[in-house]
Structure 1
Amino acid sequence: MAHTILASAGLVATFVAIFGRMWSTLYVGGRKSVTLVMDGPYSVTRNPLYFFSLVGIAGIGAQTGSILAMLIFVATALIVFTATVAQEEKFLQERFGTVFQDYLASTPRLLPRPSLWRDTDELEIKPRNFLRTLRDGSVFLVPWPVFELIEAGQSNGVLPVLVRLPF
């Protein structure tokens, strides 16, 4: 029962990630290297795309039905994202100087702080960027049927159980 609940929560997290990434893309709209976007999801975290990617990665891990697998997935992604964000922040510091320094000091790197929410009156939507984000986000759904097929194969004795995680 716990396995099913965790796997279902993982699927929900996967959809949250896809929609969160699409929402964030509406704000950044391909302007990432040209303008320092500080409104909408970028007002509560400097890296909403990475935050929602982590939600999706946690969701993929949870779909295995194992908390340990979920934690391993998230820890691995955090290591990669931390290095990537550091490189991006160096670029943004060079590009935007004191404006980025102020943003850095006032907005959390990864975990959103909703009390900081600021919005803009208008958004310029670039359908190509939005659709690319939808396509990229859909990759988060690929593990779901794969894990279901593996589980069905193991339940029916077609596939061997190679490892049993403690939780």
Structure 2
Amino acid sequence: MSDTPKAAPLLDIGAVQHIRKLVMFALGAASFSVLLFSHSLWPDANEDGLHEIIETIGFGLLLVAIIGRTWSSLYIGGRKKSEVVALGPYSICRNPLYVFSFIGAAGAGAQFGNVTAALAATLLTVLVFSIVVRKEERFLSEKFGEPYLAYKARVPRFIPNFRLWQNVSTLEINTHLVVRTFLDACVFLAAIPLAEGVEMAQAQGWLPVLWLVP
């Protein structure tokens, strides 16, 4: 019987992502339950008012998030567990998919016409993904060793450094994963009818407004 110690198994990155999605869903549901009884400090009757401006900016952020996550998936789709991806958006930031999720969260919160919801949604998303990223970094460090550690030391985690940009003229794309990422990102758009539905219910008196937020 061999006394050679067995290597610790690599972290199950798929399980981490599954838990992350469950946590995000739970936090989203909890946040939405709070937003049911809050309303923007600024009235929404005036189309040129601050309420509508915040919603419009938020819609732009939603589009940026969807396009950005789809663009990032062109580079990472199907490669995350097999190689260190360091091209395109991954040459300037180690987690561009997550950065665009932060932007999407801000856009989703902004659909309620106030900055508070946008900031709260962003901070909650950053908190959850920061925990996930640490676990992913452990997995990637164990799997790829020095190449990943060098990449980690060179490229920032979230804040892009555009001076590091690198790209290639041709890229092999996993269309199935790209389409799936695009469809997943489109879930952010659900914030629009949800916010409009809450505002309509509040206007009709079906939902009480317990507090106003800026």
How much has 1:122 moved relative to structure 2? 1.4
Answering whether residue 113 of structure 2 is matched by residue 65 of structure 1, we say: yes
Distance 1:163 1:133 in 2: 36
1:8 counterpart letter in structure 2:
T
Distance 1:58 1:144 in 2: 12
Q: SS at the partner of 1:7?
A: helix
Answering whether residue 99 of structure 2 is matched by residue 20 of structure 1, we say: no
Distance 1:97 1:59 in 2: 37
Identify the residue that residue 57 of structure 2 maps to in structure 1: 9
Report if aligned partners of 2:54, 2:110 keep a CA contact under 8 Å in 1. Answer: yes
- Matching of residues 33-52 of structure 1 within 5 Å: 33-52=81-100
1:140 counterpart letter in structure 2:
F
Identify the residue that residue 56 of structure 1 maps to in structure 2: 104
Report if aligned partners of 1:29, 1:124 keep a CA contact under 8 Å in 2. Answer: no
How much has 1:134 moved relative to structure 2? 1.1
Identify the residue that residue 137 of structure 2 maps to in structure 1: 89
Distance 2:153 2:146 in 1: 10
Structure 1 stretches of 4+ moved >3 Å? 156-159
Q: SS at the partner of 2:61?
A: helix
Match of 2:207 among 141, 159, 167: 159
Answering whether residue 194 of structure 2 is matched by residue 133 of structure 1, we say: no
Report if aligned partners of 2:51, 2:114 keep a CA contact under 8 Å in 1. Answer: yes
Report if aligned partners of 1:45, 1:113 keep a CA contact under 8 Å in 2. Answer: yes
Report if aligned partners of 1:45, 1:108 keep a CA contact under 8 Å in 2. Answer: yes
2:128 counterpart letter in structure 1:
V
Q: SS at the partner of 1:164?
A: strand
Distance 1:6 1:114 in 2: 28
How much has 1:54 moved relative to structure 2? 0.4
TM-score by length of 1: 0.95
Is the deviation greater in 130-139 or in 148-157?
A: 148-157
Distance 2:111 2:89 in 1: 26
Decide which structure has the larger Cα Rg and report it: 2
Report if aligned partners of 2:109, 2:191 keep a CA contact under 8 Å in 1. Answer: no
Answering whether residue 167 of structure 2 is matched by residue 119 of structure 1, we say: yes
Answering whether residue 164 of structure 2 is matched by residue 100 of structure 1, we say: no
Distance 1:4 1:113 in 2: 33
- Residues 37-59 of structure 1: CA deviation (Å, up to 9, x unaligned): 00000001000000000000011
| Number of equivalenced pairs | 166
1:24 counterpart letter in structure 2:
S
| Alignment RMSD (CA, Å) | 1.2
- Residues 59-87 of structure 1: CA deviation (Å, up to 9, x unaligned): 11111111111111111111111110000
5+ long unaligned stretches in structure 1: none
How much has 1:164 moved relative to structure 2? 1.6
How much has 1:5 moved relative to structure 2? 0.6
